[in-house]
A = this chain, B = another copy of it.
Amino acid sequence: MSLVRPSGRAAGQLRPVSLQRGFTRHAEGSVLVSFGDTRVLCTASVENKVPAFLRGKGEGWVTAEYGMLPRATHTRSDREAARGKQGGRTLEIQRLIGRSLRACVDRAALGERTITLDCDVLQADGGTRTAAITGAYVALVDAVAPLLARGELKRNPVFGAVAAVSVGIYQGVPVLDLDYAEDSACDTDMNVVMNDGGGFIELQGTAEGHAFRRDELDALLALAEQGCAALFAAQREALAQA
């Protein structure tokens, strides 16, 4: 088959991934994640309090917020703070990020703390939510480390790793890690969040146009597994640095 992706990538090829730790100073964890031209700043903030529904239960909470700078995109979009509300897409994405990261946290081990993962898109080129999840994991690990080092946490509340990637059918071919040019031209795509034990944490497949056949779905899942494996390696490599 002679698919030519707009970026020239092979069907199963990720964009260049980078995870730059310590991008800003104040946050307990701060990672600039890039999936190609998609760049998301992920910070992890630790606070010694929990939401009302958890008070007094000895458990912690992990939550996420997502935003996109107005000119992260080709044309300027309205600033959500100015419009006075977060849109449905934003809420959906930040709920997804929060659920995904909670899937690798033992909230009892965390104790009555909240870790907030702020994922702000500086530049968008498709796949902002999967980049955000992948980067937020690294920021989370960085935020927890000093608590462990200082003995404030008895055991590590983070178990395993979490990463995410998109897959989709582009011009009839299953491809990995869609960029904007592919994303806007293909109406069948899926975001897959996995843990490093090979388990699926979230699947969000959408087909406004062409419905997935079962065999296509299988091919997409295989690509996603392969993509996440590469992302877990990138996370490990980033975290191995001082």
Contacts and interface: CB of A to CB of B under 8 A. Distances in A.
Interface of A: 24-27, 30, 37, 39, 41, 43, 45, 47, 65, 67, 69-74, 76, 79-82, 84-92, 94-95, 99, 102-103, 116, 118, 120, 122-124, 190, 194-195, 197-214, 217, 221
Contact of A26 (B72, B99, B116): B72
23 contacts: A24-B71, A24-B72, A26-B123, A43-B69, A65-B82, A70-B118, A76-B116, A81-B81, A84-B85, A85-B85, A87-B91, A91-B92, A99-B206, A103-B207, A103-B209, A197-B211, A198-B214, A199-B210, A200-B217, A202-B206, A202-B207, A204-B204, A204-B205
A203 B199 CA distance: 16
Contacts of A72: 24, 26
Give how many copies assemble into the complex.
6
User: 4 tightest A-B contacts by CB?
Assistant: A199-B211, A80-B81, A88-B91, A203-B205
A116 to B, nearest CB: 6
Nearest to A80: B81
Nearest to A44: B71
A212 B190 contact: no
B203 A69 contact: no
Nearest to A77: B45
Contacts of A212: 199-201, 203
A150 B190 CA distance: 40
Contacts of A211: 103, 194-195, 197, 199-201
Nearest to A42: B71
A116 B69 CA distance: 13
B45 A76 contact: yes
A25 B75 CA distance: 11
A76 B91 contact: no
Nearest to A125: B25
Nearest to A88: B91
B86 A69 contact: no
B37 A25 contact: yes
B67 A118 contact: no
A76 B48 CA distance: 12
